[in-house]
Structure 1
Amino acid sequence: LAREHGYVETLSGRRCYVPGVQSSRAAERAAAERQAINAPIQGAAADIIKRAMVRLPALLSGARLGNAKMLLQVHDELVFQVPEREVEETVHVVREAMENAAKLSVPLCVDVGVGNNW
C-alpha cells in the first residue's frame, strides 16, 4: 500500500503518509519503509486507547461513578482519581472498556494498578 499509494492506514482507517517510500535515495526510502511498517502498529494502539477514552465518561456515569475522574493519558495508560469507595467498581468499568475498545483476533489484556499517588 505504501509503495503504491504513498500512505498506510491505521486500524480505524486513518491515513499516515510516507512520501519518502518512493525516493531514489536508499537511506530516505529505508527510513520511510520503517515508518510504513511502524505507523499502523503505533496508530492502532492510539486508535484503541482513544476509543476507550471516548467511551469511558458515559460508562462511568452510567455506573454511577461520576466522582471518578480521568486525569491523564500516557501512551497506553490512563490515570484516574477515584474516591476509595468507588475504586473496585471503577477498576471493573475501566478494564471492561479498555479490553473491549477494539475487536481483534487476539485478546486485549489490561493490567490495573491502584495507589495513593501517581
Structure 2
Amino acid sequence: YFERFPGISDYITDTLESVRTKGYTETLFGRKTWFPRIKAASQNERAGSERAAINAPIQGTSADLIKRAMARMPAALADAGLSDVKMLLQVHDELVFEAPADKAEAAGEVIRTVMMGAAEPALTLSVPLEVEIGIGKSWGEAH
C-alpha cells in the first residue's frame, strides 16, 4: 500500500512530526485540533492520539468544506430562482435536499456548482472536488 502510494507515508510522518512539535493539527482552512496526549507515557493513549492526529486534517477539512457549501446554498438556490428547494440535512459528506420534481435537475446543477467551489476563494485546491448527484423519492432511492 505504502509502496503504491508513497505520499501517504510522507503525510503520516510529516503530520506526526508536526503534532508532536506543535501539539495540534490544522485543516487546510487553518482550524486547529489539539492533541494534549500526543506525548503520553502510555503507549495506548499516545497511539490513539496519533491515529486521531493523522485523521483530523483530512476529516476536518472535509467538514470545513461541507459547512462552507451549506452556508452558501440558500442564497445560490434563491439566485437561481429555486427558493422552493430546501436543504434538509447533512449526512457526513452528503447534503439532502427536497425539491419539486420539475426542478430537481436544475437544483442539482446549482448544488454541484456550489459544492465544487466550496473551497474558494480561501483556497484553490490542487485536485477538483468531485460531486455526485442522486435524485429519487427517498434518500435510499437517490443512491
TM over 0.5: yes
Mapped partners of 2:48, 2:105: distance in 1: 46
- Structure 1 residue aligned with 2:133: 112
Q: Which has the higher contact order (CA 8 A, sep 6+)?
A: 1
- Structure 1 residue aligned with 2:28: 11
Whichever residue aligns with residue 105 of structure 1, its letter is: S
- Structure 1 residue aligned with 2:109: 92
- Structure 1 residue aligned with 2:91: 74
CA-CA distance at 1:59 after TM superposition: 0.4
Mapped partners of 2:100, 2:89: distance in 1: 16
Task: Give the 4+ runs in structure 1 shifted more than 4 A.
Answer: none
CA-CA distance at 1:100 after TM superposition: 1.2
Moved more, 47-56 or 17-26: 17-26
Matches within 5 A, 1:20-59: 20-59=37-76
Whichever residue aligns with residue 117 of structure 1, its letter is: S
Mapped partners of 1:35, 1:41: distance in 2: 10
Whichever residue aligns with residue 81 of structure 2, its letter is: R
Mapped partners of 2:94, 2:67: distance in 1: 11
Moved more, 3-12 or 72-81: 3-12
- Percent of paired sites with the same residue: 53
Whichever residue aligns with residue 116 of structure 2, its letter is: E
CA-CA distance at 1:99 after TM superposition: 1.0
Which digits, 9 at most, give the CA deviation of each residue in 1:59-94, with x for residues without a partner?
000011000000010000000000112111100000
Mapped partners of 2:132, 2:52: distance in 1: 29
Moved more, 23-32 or 68-77: 23-32
Mapped partners of 1:17, 1:9: distance in 2: 9
Under a length normalisation based on structure 1, what TM-score does the superposition of the two structures give? Answer: 0.95
Mapped partners of 1:117, 1:4: distance in 2: 48
- When the two structures are aligned, how many residues end up with a matched partner? 118
Which digits, 9 at most, give the CA deviation of each residue in 1:12-50, with x for residues without a partner?
111101111111222211111111110001001100111
RMSD of the alignment, in Å?
Answer: 0.9
